[in-house]
Amino acid sequence: MRTLLALAADTLRALCSRRLFWLHVWLSIATALVFASIRGTPEGWTAGFGMRSLSSPWLRDGTPWESTLHCWVLSRAVRWWVAGAGVLMTLFATAAVLPESLESGQAAILMPKARRRSILLAGRFLGAIAYFVILTAFAIALLFLVLRWHMDLWEWRLWLALPAALLLYAPLQAVATLMGVLTKSTTAAVLVALLFGAAATALQEAAAKQPASTSASNSSSDLSPPTPDHEDEDSESWTAQFAGTMLRGTASIMPGPAPALAWAESHSCPVPPRAYRDLFRRLRLGKSGLEAAAAEAIATNSPQGRTAAVAGLASAAAGGSVISSACLVLAASLLRRRDL
In terms of Cα–Cα distance, which of 11, 83, 48 is closest to 261? 83
Beta bridge partners of 46: 39, 53
3-class SS letters over 109-169: HHCCCCCCHHHHHHHHHHHHHHHHHHHHHHHHHHHHHHHHHHHCCCCHHHHHHHHHHHHHH
Q: Return the pLDDT at 107.
A: 46
Which residues is 53 bridged to in the sheet? 46
Phi-psi region of 19 (alpha: psi -120 to 50; beta: other; left: phi over 0): alpha
Distance of alpha carbon 150 from alpha carbon 38, whole angstroms: 9
What is the sign of the dihedral through the CA atoms of 74, 77, 80 and 82?
Answer: negative
Q: Check pLDDT > 90 for residue 26.
A: yes
User: What local confidence, expressed as pLDDT, does residue 313 receive?
Assistant: 66
Distance CA 121, CA 129 (A): 12
- What DSSP string describes 40-56? E-SSEEEETTTTEEEE-
pLDDT band at 25 (very low <50, low <70, confident <90, very high): very high
CA dist 17 and 26 (Å) reads 14
**The predicted structure's pLDDT at residue 290:** 62
User: Does residue 176 carry a pLDDT above 70?
Assistant: yes
Mean pLDDT confidence for 153-170: 86
Percent of residues, the chain, with pLDDT higher than 70: 66
Write down the pLDDT at residue 53.
76
Tell me the per-residue pLDDT of 201-234, one tens digit each, with 9 for 90 and over.
777 666 666 654 444 444 444 444 555 555 555 5
Class of residue 47 by CB neighbours under 10 A (exposed 0-12, middle 13-18, buried 19+): middle
Taking residues 169-195, what's their average pLDDT? 88
* Domain extents in the chain: 2-211+235-304+317-337
Provide the pLDDT for residue 134.
Answer: 95
Compute the distance between CA of residue 140 and CA of residue 158 in angstroms, rounded to an integer: 7
Taking Cα atoms as reference points, which of 47, 210, 74, 52 lies closest to residue 144? Answer: 74
**What is the arithmetic mean of pLDDT over 35-39?**
87
Q: With beta carbons less than 8 A apart as the criterion, state whether 127 and 11 touch.
A: yes
pLDDT, tens only, 98-146: 877 776 545 444 554 445 777 878 888 899 999 999 999 999 999 999 9
